Amino acid sequence: MAVKIGIWVPSYAWQPSTGEDQHRRVHRLKEYIQRCEQLGFDIWDIDHLLTAPGLYGNAWLEPLSVLTYASALTEQAMLGTGILVLPLRHPVLLAKEIATMAQLSNDRYIFGVGPGWDPKEFESVGTHISERGRRTDEIIAAVQELLSKESASFDGEFYSFHDVTIEPRPAELPQIWVSGGSRVPDPNFHDRDSMPTSVLNRIAKSDAWLSRCSGTQDRLLRDWRTVGDHLESLGKPRDSVRFAHCNFIQLSPGQTRERALEQQHEHAVRAFGTHRSYEHLQECYLLGDLDHQLGRLTELAEHGMDYVVLGPLTDDLEQLDMIAEHIRPALGD
């Protein structure tokens, strides 16, 4: 089965202390987006409002703004949020942003969503992490209502509006790709080493499951089996929801595993911080030698994955060329 490749563009909000010139970074981001288009890769952007100690060493630029910028630089690439943390946003404003994105991109937007995980982000916008799942479900339903009806109304636990019209509305609703899954247990956060029924129900209503990279390969495959079992319990085919995956990667072709990990270490620490051990990062992300990286990706493809979002840890255009040269042929894209 051929696996389509998307790219997490490196819209890192690097700290000023790095000494990098802001205008040069933006110029490189522009070149990066244009190279994705030239190579036939879809374009995705990650979402973290704040610097997120525990998983990352930095924040990212606001994703819908980045994808709107990307839409002006491209004509063919699909544009996805992977993932948009829904509980941080209000559904009416979000629906307007999506409608605008759809108009400017000629309906190329993929609505990739998830509930988020960082308690501080929720606190900073006046909500609480304990509400994230219920808010996520309400926002999905409310946005669908707003984008499909001329006069939309909604009454929920958190959001209510009446006779609201969003214009221009897209010709059709963007596909919804839902994230969620097991994570290596961490006593400092609310994620679990299992998939709650509420998450499985959300996935079952979506077009694709966009599996995360914050667990191990074994957990990921176990989660996909759980998703399939849940779909069957609802009377749906196991393949009624697409299996997609997102993961960070850094390529060092021609290097031994030891040498590749040595080369990739500084990039990993810059992106992920020092909160987790390098051994832990290797479990979660596609680090190491090329054979190891291809082995993990082809194993997922053998289990039904037909779309992968890869996120290079630098904005070096050579990483995109290497993905095209080494990864794409192996996945049949």
Q: Which of 7-21, 71-85, 210-224 has the lowest mean pLDDT?
A: 7-21
- Confidence class of residue 124 from pLDDT cuts 50, 70 and 90? very high
Query: What's the pLDDT at 19?
Result: 62
> Where are any strands of DSSP class E within the chain?
4-8, 12-13, 42-45, 59-60, 79-81, 84-85, 109-114, 152-155, 160-164, 176-178, 208-211, 242-249, 305-312
Kindly state the percentage of the chain with pLDDT values over 70: 94
Mean pLDDT of 254-268: 96
Q: How far apart are the first and last CA of the chain?
A: 9
What is the model's pLDDT at position 17? 57
Q: For all residues of the chain together, what is the average pLDDT? A: 92
pLDDT score of 186: 59
Over residues 194-221, the pLDDT tens digits come to: 789 999 999 999 999 999 887 789 999 9
Q: Are 116 and 180 in contact (CB under 8 A)?
A: no
| Conformation bin of residue 170: beta by default, left when phi > 0, alpha when psi is -120 to 50 | beta
Instruction: Please say if the pLDDT value at position 37 is more than 70.
Output: yes
What is the pLDDT at residue 20?
67
Residues with Cβ within 8 Å of 70's Cβ and at least 6 positions away in sequence, in order, are 9, 33, 43, 45, 77, 79
Residue 277 pLDDT > 80, yes or no?
A: yes
Residue 190 has pLDDT above 60, yes or no: no
What backbone phi and psi angles, to 5 degrees, belong to 312?
-60, 145
Spell out the domains of the chain, with CATH numbers in brackets.
Answer: 4-331 (3.20.20.30)
What is the per-residue pLDDT for 31?
Answer: 97
What confidence score (pLDDT) does residue 21 get?
A: 76
Residue 127 pLDDT greater than 90, yes or no: yes
Per-residue pLDDT, averaged over 22-34, amounts to 91
